[in-house]
Structure 1
Amino acid sequence: MNRSAESGGGEGPVVLPERAASLVELLRRHAARTEEQRRVAEENIAALDEAGLFGITVPRRFGGHQASVRTLVEVGAELGRGCGSTAWTTSLINVSGWVIGLFPERAQREVYEANLRARACAALPPHGTSTPADGGQVITGRWGFASGCLHAEWALLGVSITDAGGERPDQGLALVPMNQLKIEETWHVAGMCGTGSNTLIAHDVFVPAHRILSVTGAKQGRYPTEFRDEVLYRAAFVPTLALSLAGPLLGLARGGMELVRASLARGRGISHTFYEQARQAPSTQMQCAEAAQLIDTATLHLMRAADDVDNCAARGQCMPLLDRARVRMDIATVARSSREALDILLTVHGAKSFADGNPLQRIWRDQETGSRHALINPAIATEIYGRALLGIGDQVSPLI
């Protein structure tokens, strides 16, 4: 499918989640292999690429959809129904594409002119060091948890920027071709195994200045892109990054509900009771209703947060601190509600949920792992929001 042919008009926000939904069964068929091989199945990658689902946040100028943050999370939620690792990888590749859209046009062209379907991954913590060089910085470091690096041509790497005097006045994101980096296989985990979130290594890699984004400026809504009329690339920095993690978590909970309902519809009973059909038990009905309500709660908070970010960007405003803090709280609510819903569904489904061949145990492990990402941490998000609500100036994190 020609991505450039589908980027015009307003069809993207509606059609892209539908395309994602059409791939759910394909992702389910390959979910076990994705986990076993610790990378997204190539059949999934090809189908996602054909559907244009790696171009959600790519500028239209390069044939992408340049859609909305809401579309990004809706697609993540649909894909998460089929495979948590695939959804997570796709969402993080897309948010990396969004970050590239914040760079100067020169950097964007270097990424997309040679390959309109180029993909990027990101490792944001400043685990790299730099030394100033003529026209840029020379970086060295190791960056773990680089989700999607096995399917990317570029990487965004967090570095401490060093000036000529040896001071470190800023933190940056360096945009580096993957062929200048080494991948070390370090991703051996209990859940989200298929994301291939390995470690990237750079040793004395030169990065020109136009391919280094100031994180300090970005957090304040100052982006170096010359295209000020492109609404998507005015979205708030940290909220957009954090929201990209939330869609797959909601999708996992939805996928778990679908599996349990399908099992109940087949008429199984409850062991050690007189119920020949579990669906006839009031306890089952009440637990399913409670899980569904928790999933609805996660959905409402996720979509509100995405809409808040989109609407603020459309108005051309820098998102206020209180609103950004609330987005962090909304995302924490998505994680907490989705986890609680899955916990109930596992109880309904019983001990067989944990059989190796049962996809519900993989969904549970993916949810438990993904929802522990540092940007999601519900306790920290609650503290951030509480401080913002009470006007306390000292915060507990720079990432708001």
Structure 2
Amino acid sequence: MTTGAAEPAHDSEQATLPERAAALVELLRRNATRTDQDRCVAPENIAALDAAGLFSLTVPQRLGGHQACIRTLVQVGSELGRGCGSTAWTTSLINISGWLIGLYPQRTQREVYAQDPGTRACAVLPPHGTGRTSDAGTIVSGRWGFASGCLHARWALLGMTLTGEHGERRDQALALVPMHQLTIEDTWHVAGMRGTGSNTLVADGVVVPAHRILSVTHALQGTYPTEFKDEALYRAAFVPTLALSLAGPLLGLARGAMELVLASLATGRGISHTHLAREAPSTQMQLAEAASLIDTATLHLLRAADDVDNWAASGQCMPLVNRTRARMDIGTVARCAREALDLLLNVHGARSFAEDSPLQRIWRDLETGTRHAMVNPAIATEMYGRALLGIEDQITPLI
């Protein structure tokens, strides 16, 4: 495999994007409880992210965005996750929606970004709706749950089954629809990632023109309708890229927990009925193991991101075994982040679960986020094992 010329994402300005995210961590921490309680990212967070340009990571540079590589996307997600899991998750999924829009024809991209490169979108990939072709366009109806970021979006990408005039199945697709043509139902009542506001979107007979319909079937094969074939970012492998957008915030949650526990230990807190926690070998060993698990998660996350970026730069389709390895890497991030947090909770003790403790919110967020189907470690392990053995029949078409 060869790599292509350096993309705009690697210049000095774009290299500062994770630093911009890191600079917002304390603001996100201060607002994390309110974000959780309000079930919506705090307005101050949205304004700060917007001012820092962190909603346009994946918007084409020719339309005013950063056109950042996938490595930068996961690094930004990881930094923001240190401060607030819900804010990081929402930001990352808004950015991956921007990447999806970059796969559409130029006409579609201009409709979204011509006036504002910071325009936000949300996406729901599963085909929970139907699209019936007609002379006027595709008539879209359905209900799409788990629409993370919908409370802050102006556009939505909605998965659907495309049918002909007589109901015959033609394709699976994504329809790009303005939010004002949809209804939001307040259905996101959950234990973790509460602030993502991942409610349900409803469409009833919305007409979508042909240039705002993207074939998921073709996308899974690496074929995208964008006319700008020289832009490597929009050649990235479809499913691994979508899955990677979820992994950065999960790693960030574990990193944030480590920082909080270390800060607590620095105050000289003791273990009940024993001596100072920081002097206890059990504390030292569990911290070391948690740190190593976080390091492992980081290495797997960056390897997967770099693999996606390098194959995109090469102009070649990412092979199936590499795509399943990327999913395995992402599953490893989820598993290691959970295991690291479990050790950190052991160190911090029962006080971790006090209602005013940020650790209990991190625990809820991580336990919820790591159960997403795209990052499920067991599914990823089976997929990768089958690919290594050359078994063509996979458990999911989303590879």
TM range (shorter): over 0.9
| Deviation of the 1:163 alpha carbon | 2.0
Q: What is the CA–CA distance in structure 2 between the aligned matches of 1:51 and 1:224, rounded to whole Å?
A: 30
Helix, strand or coil at the partner of 1:81: helix
| Deviation of the 1:156 alpha carbon | 0.2
The residue number in structure 1 matching 2:371 is 372
1:202 is the counterpart of 2:195: no
Q: What is the CA–CA distance in structure 2 between the aligned matches of 1:130 and 1:104, rounded to whole Å?
A: 19
The residue number in structure 2 matching 1:314 is 313
Q: CA deviation digits over 1:322-377, x for unaligned, max 9? A: 00000010000000000000000000000000000000000010000000001111
The residue number in structure 2 matching 1:185 is 186
Q: CA deviation digits over 1:128-157, x for unaligned, max 9? A: 012111152101000000000000000000
Q: What is the CA–CA distance in structure 1 between the aligned matches of 2:290 and 2:209, rounded to whole Å?
A: 50
Q: What is the CA–CA distance in structure 1 between the aligned matches of 2:133 and 2:269, rounded to whole Å?
A: 67
The residue number in structure 2 matching 1:337 is 336
Higher mean Cα deviation, 8-17 or 185-194? 8-17
Alignment identity in percent? 74
* Change beyond 3 A, Cα 1:42–1:388: same
2:163 and 2:170 in contact (8 A); partners too: yes
Amino acid paired to 1:164: E
* Change beyond 3 A, Cα 1:39–1:315: same
1:386 is the counterpart of 2:385: yes
Q: What is the CA–CA distance in structure 2 between the aligned matches of 1:158 and 1:8, rounded to whole Å?
A: 29
* Map 1:9-158 → 2, pairs under 5 A: 10-158=11-159
Q: What is the CA–CA distance in structure 1 between the aligned matches of 2:33 and 2:383, rounded to whole Å?
A: 37
1:12 and 1:65 in contact (8 A); partners too: no
| Deviation of the 1:116 alpha carbon | 2.6
The residue number in structure 2 matching 1:251 is 252
1:218 is the counterpart of 2:219: yes
Q: CA deviation digits over 1:67-91, x for unaligned, max 9? A: 1000000000000000000000000
Amino acid paired to 1:30: N
Helix, strand or coil at the partner of 1:336: helix
| Deviation of the 1:185 alpha carbon | 0.4
| Deviation of the 1:180 alpha carbon | 0.2
Q: Which stretches in structure 2 are left out of the alignment for 5+ residues? A: 1-7
Q: CA deviation digits over 1:277-308, x for unaligned, max 9? A: 21011110000000000000000000000000
Helix, strand or coil at the partner of 2:249: helix
Helix, strand or coil at the partner of 2:374: coil
* Map 1:157-168 → 2, pairs under 5 A: 157-168=158-169
Amino acid paired to 1:174: A
Instruction: State the TM-score, normalizing by the size of structure 1.
Output: 0.97
| Deviation of the 1:165 alpha carbon | 4.2
The residue number in structure 2 matching 1:287 is 286
Give the total of aligned pairs.
Answer: 392
Higher mean Cα deviation, 111-120 or 362-371? 111-120
* Change beyond 3 A, Cα 1:370–1:124: same
1:13 and 1:68 in contact (8 A); partners too: no
1:135 and 1:209 in contact (8 A); partners too: no
The residue number in structure 1 matching 2:348 is 349
The CA RMSD over aligned residues, in Å, is: 1.0
